[in-house]
Amino acid sequence: LLDNHAGASIVRSRRRPRGCLGEDTCRRPPVGAMKEMFQDMYYQLKEMRPRTLAHQVLNLCMIVCSALMIWKSLMVLTESESPVVVVLSGSMEPAFHRGDILFLHMGYAPFRAGDIVVFKVADRDIPIVHRVIKVHEKPTGVVDILTKGDNNSVDDRGLYAAGQSWINKEHIIGRAKGYLPYIGMVTIIMNDYPLLKYCLVGLMGLFVLTSKE
């Protein structure tokens, strides 16, 4: 019979090494695990029958088409050409911060000072999200709108096209109705590093193609 001290010494001697999942299996380094995963995907694609591969490609196309249908449906429901946008600067702090996701809806209500709108101007590819500070309604029905960022010291006339002092309804994409903080940082990072974006999209495609379900 062994006493407690001897038993304790035996238990100590059989402790699993650091980083091991079991007696004989240890965790692989992250780089090695990723390499092995890509190798498995490659061999799965290589050994896949043409009919099975065609089926997986159709699944991938269905996923892409479903995403496009959801986006188009949101455009119809929100009456906005871009129902979801990401804040790219700090000009609207403290209301919104860089990386926040905004949910837009156009609606038919008249624009009023205090509304937060997303608009496009000539010669600028990226929409701007700022607050309405002045609204002039003309007898003809045309509505002139002046905007400004909450964190800016001056209005947006310097951002408008040359010779333009106001924006109109046709420039506005939608009104901000809700937001999620910082979720859009993923989109910003992928836009800043296009190679990362292409790698992630390619990786998602490989997962779909090699999926067994």
Residues catalogued as catalytic:
91, 130, 156
Cα gap 41→47, rounded to integer Å: 10
Q: Compute the distance between CA of residue 187 and CA of residue 193 in angstroms, rounded to an integer.
A: 10
Nearest-angstrom CA–CA distance, 11 and 103: 58
Residue 174 in contact with residue 111, Cβ under 8 Å?
Answer: no
Please give the sequence-ordered ranges of beta strands (E in DSSP) within 58-210, or none if there are none. 84-86, 101-105, 116-119, 128-137, 143-148, 172-180
Which stretches of 48-149 are DSSP H helices? 50-78
* Whole-angstrom distance, CA of residue 165 vs CA of residue 176: 23
CA distances from 85 to 13, 81, 82, 208 (A): 58, 10, 7, 27
Q: Are 57 and 209 in contact (CB under 8 A)?
A: yes
The backbone region for 118, taken as left when phi is positive above 0, alpha when psi lies in -120 to 50, beta otherwise, is: beta
Alpha-carbon gap, residue 158 to 174, rounded angstroms? 21
